[in-house]
């Protein structure tokens, strides 16, 4: 099970979490977020990670030039888009940096995955290949990080794993519920931020350790 710990803001926390060997850490460049990180700190963290841990840059409605500038400065190979970026924007990213991997975040509510499917069809038409689809809870006015869970039952029914990119489940995951989320949705990976924090934006190492253990010991779907 691929596991990403998102919203790391300082080098000491990054070193602690890297010692636990998640598959990826998330560096949040969305300034209004309580989990946002200074670009210079992000660069030091990303360049200091062990090779087996992936640094993922999180962006929300950034300009193309700003996104590419931060990716270049930090040496980041994967971007995670959480805003209103259309498929055409993803195409522009890959036209400029075909080596980058893109994870697209979607907010899914009780209406299911219809809008997600249409978006992915447009990506296919533009020959945009995604590294994964991260599905978070749909909360009005928020781009993520709300602590609300996505509708796991609808994902299990509606997500077309045979034709769509690899599913990454996010939203409200904790050490206590991640096994259930994995059992129901059968994802490629899971992503956590608030569920391993002692306070908003403050990672709790014991919770991170418990989350990793729970995710990786969950029975294979």
The residues assigned a catalytic role are 6, 136
Give the whole-angstrom CA distance, residue 215 versus residue 87.
31
């Amino acid at each position: 099970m691929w596991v990403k710990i998102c919203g790391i803001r300082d080098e000491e926390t990054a070193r602690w979490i890297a010692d636990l060997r998640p598959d990826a850490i998330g560096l949040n460049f969305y300034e209004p977020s309580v989990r946002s990180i200074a670009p210079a700190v992000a660069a030091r963290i990303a360049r200091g990670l062990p090779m087996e841990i992936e640094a993922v840059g999180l962006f929300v409605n950034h300009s193309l030039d700003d996104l590419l500038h931060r990716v270049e400065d930090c040496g980041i190979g994967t971007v995670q888009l959480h805003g209103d970026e259309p498929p055409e924007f993803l195409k522009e990213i890959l036209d400029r940096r075909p080596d980058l991997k893109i994870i697209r975040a979607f907010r899914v509510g009780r209406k299911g995955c219809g809008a997600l499917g249409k978006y992915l069809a447009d990506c296919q038409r533009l020959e945009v290949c995604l590294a994964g689809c991260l599905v978070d809870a749909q909360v009005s006015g928020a781009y993520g990080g709300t602590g609300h869970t996505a509708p796991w039952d609808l994902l299990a029914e509606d997500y077309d794993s045979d034709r769509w990119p690899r599913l990454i489940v996010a939203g409200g995951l904790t050490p206590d519920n991640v096994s259930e989320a994995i059992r129901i949705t059968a994802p490629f990976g899971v992503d956590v931020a608030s569920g391993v924090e002692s306070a908003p934006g403050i990672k709790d190492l014991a919770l991170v350790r418990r989350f990793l253990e729970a995710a990786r010991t969950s029975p294979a779907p």
